[in-house]
Amino acid sequence: MKRTFSDAILILAISMWMAFAIGFPLPMASERAQPDKTTVECLKNINNCWFLSYMKPSGPICGSDQVTYSGECHLCSKILFEGLNITKLYDGACENS
């Protein structure tokens, strides 16, 4: 009985945490985003991605390279780990993807 109760509390705690966990905002091209500003935001938030992106994926976003990314975490991983010089154009899939 104690095990079931502690499991229920753990599941409730994780569910509440995930309910309030949201993606982080990246500057958009319409806000005159520069690649270096996007890189700074990615560096500040990339550690939040590893767990959150699997548990609560965000919606698609369009990058300045006209590629649709599965969310801010995906775009940031391309910027930080592959050295791409791109910014977020807008929320949603790119028109040509």
Query: What mean pLDDT is predicted for residues 43-58?
Result: 71
Q: What are φ and ψ of residue 44, in 5° steps?
A: -70, -30
Domain ranges of the chain: 34-96
- Per-residue confidence (pLDDT) for residue 92, from 0 to 100: 93
Tally of helices (H runs) and strands (E runs) in the chain: 3, 3
**Percent of residues, the chain, with pLDDT higher than 70:** 64
- Per-residue confidence (pLDDT) for residue 21, from 0 to 100: 47
Confidence of residue 66 (pLDDT cuts 50, 70, 90): very high
Q: Does domain 34-96 have CATH number 3.30.70.60?
A: no
- Per-residue confidence (pLDDT) for residue 42, from 0 to 100: 87
3-state secondary structure of 50: helix
Confidence of residue 12 (pLDDT cuts 50, 70, 90): low
Q: What is the largest CA-CA distance in the chain?
A: 57
Confidence of residue 93 (pLDDT cuts 50, 70, 90): very high
Element (H, E) at 89: strand 88-91
